[in-house]
Amino acid sequence: MLRLRSSVHHSRAEEFGSLLRELDGVRRVVQQADEAAAEAFVFVADVEPSAADRLVEAVGEFGIEDGDYVLTRIEVVAPQHRHHLGEGGVDGYSWIEVIGQARANSRLLARYLALINVAAVIAALGVITSSSILIVGAMAVSPDLLPICATCVGLVARRYVLARRAFITLTLGLGLVIVTAAVLSFLLKITGLLPDGFAVENSSLVNLAHTDYSTVLIALAAGVAAMLSFETKASAAVGVAISVTTIPASAYLGVAIGGGGIEHALGAAAVLAINVSLLIVSGTLTLLIQRWLPNRSGAPI
């Protein structure tokens, strides 16, 4: 359930109240005087997620400034309630929320860079020591699912600036993993801390540099899971599974460059490129199908 709070000048309060009450999916409209502004009224209303896009469009057409209203999500405890699928709504999650989350996660934030750099260090050590546990730990830390899904949302919404910004964020993040893993491996090598006779191709994780049918199927399945988790804010739980297609290959590529075995870097680069491409393809298709199915069932466009 969503909740609208808006401030409207008293001369247009009656008109705005009528607008809200006429919108399907907008209920329990409450009007009260704004104590901070003597000539204004505050409106509060409960909004079904499926009605959020129509509501925001109507508020904009009414002429209310962005600073004069806010639409927030609230958790419904009781009674049991099943949200209707509407204009791009997915399980009670409105399209405008998906866009907003994608916009927030498309930016190259310092926290994103810090987390992915930590993931790079852990994954590089995992490749060097042939430790699957460290690889899993790196996947748990990595936030790369977020810009992947933001790219998909930008493509489906035809907001190509958003898609481009998210893809650049993703590319720079994975590039940082490669650079960090390469620098760490090189430093361990010149200080003599790298195991004697280390060769990246002898790692038990050498399959990270090879592609087969499973590479394709895993990446396609991961893209579907990524988009579904992104919509329902379960990305923290699913991010580990998604990163299996990105972080390990990126770290393997970096270790191959910095620790020796450059001839094996091309294979890891190919795996990484294939995985990222298929993640975006399957994530985009998942979102497109979700946007298409409600319209096939007769829901409003």
Tell me 85's DSSP state.
Answer: P
Identify whether 33 is part of a domain: yes
In a domain, 63, yes or no: yes
Span 9-26, pLDDT tens digits = 889 999 999 999 999 989
Residue 209 placed within a domain: yes
Residue 298 binned pLDDT confidence (cut-offs 50, 70, 90): very low
Residue 168, domain member (yes or no)? yes
pLDDT tier at 85, thresholds 50, 70, 90: very low
Query: Is residue 140 domain-shared with residue 25, that is, in the same domain?
Result: no
Does 100 lie in the same domain as 10? Answer: no
**E strands, the chain, where?**
2-9, 26-33, 40-47, 69-73
- Say yes or no to pLDDT of 87 above 60: no
Strand partners, 72: 3
How many CB atoms sit inside 10 A of residue 70's CB? 11
Confidence at residue 4, expressed as pLDDT on a 0 to 100 scale: 93
- For 236-245, what is the mean pLDDT? 66
CATH number of the CATH domain containing 62 = 3.30.70.100
Task: Indicate if 26 and 163 belong to the same structural domain.
Answer: no
> d(Cα 113, Cα 149) in Å, to the nearest integer?
17
Q: Is 79 exposed, middle or buried (0-12, 13-18, 19+ CB in 10 A)?
A: exposed
CATH of the domain at 114: 1.20.1080
* 102 and 67 both lie in a single domain: no
Residue 181 sits in the same domain as residue 240? yes
Q: Is 276 among the domain residues?
A: yes
Q: Determine the pLDDT at residue 234.
A: 60
Q: Of 17, 42, 73, which one is at a domain's C-terminal end? A: 73
The answer on 148 and 29 residing in a single domain is no
Query: Across-strand partners of 44?
Result: 5, 30
Domain range for residue 40? 2-73
Residue 218, domain member (yes or no): yes
Query: Which two structure tokens, joined as six digits, stand for 299?
Result: 């829901």
Q: Tally the C-alpha atoms within 13 A of residue 124's C-alpha that lie toward its C-beta.
A: 29
Residues 36, 153: one domain? no
User: Does residue 210 have a pLDDT over 70?
Assistant: yes
Distances from the Cα of 224 to the Cαs of 101, 195, 273, 281, in angstroms? 17, 39, 18, 9
Judge whether 114 and 81 are in contact, CB under 8 Å. no
Q: Are 127 and 255 within one domain? A: yes
Q: Which of these three, 42, 73, 104, is where a domain ends?
A: 73
How many domains are contained in the chain? Answer: 2
Tally Cβ neighbours within 10 Å of residue 153.
Answer: 27
Same domain? 157 vs 256: yes
Q: What are the pLDDT digits (tens) for 247-297?
A: 988 998 999 888 877 777 788 888 899 999 999 999 999 999 887 775 443
Question: Residue 199's Cα: distance from chain center in Å?
Answer: 36
| Residue 31 to residues 5, 39, 301, Cα–Cα distance (Å) | 10, 13, 29
Check whether residue 158 and residue 284 sit in a common domain: yes
301 located within any domain: no
Poorest-pLDDT segment among 39-43, 141-145, 194-198: 194-198
**Do residues 280 and 149 share a domain?**
yes
Angle in degrees, CA 278, 100, 159, rounded to 5:
55
Residue 184 has pLDDT above 90, yes or no: yes
Listed residue (184, 63, 205) closest to 129, CA to CA: 205
**pTM value?**
0.77
Of 25 and 78, which is predicted with more confidence?
25
In a domain, 127, yes or no: yes
How confident is the model at residue 86, as a pLDDT?
43
117 and 58 both lie in a single domain: no
H or E element that contains 233: none
pLDDT in tens, 27-69: 999 998 877 777 889 999 999 888 888 899 899 899 988 888 8
Q: If we measure between CA atoms, which residue out of 64, 71, 62 comes closest to residue 95?
A: 71
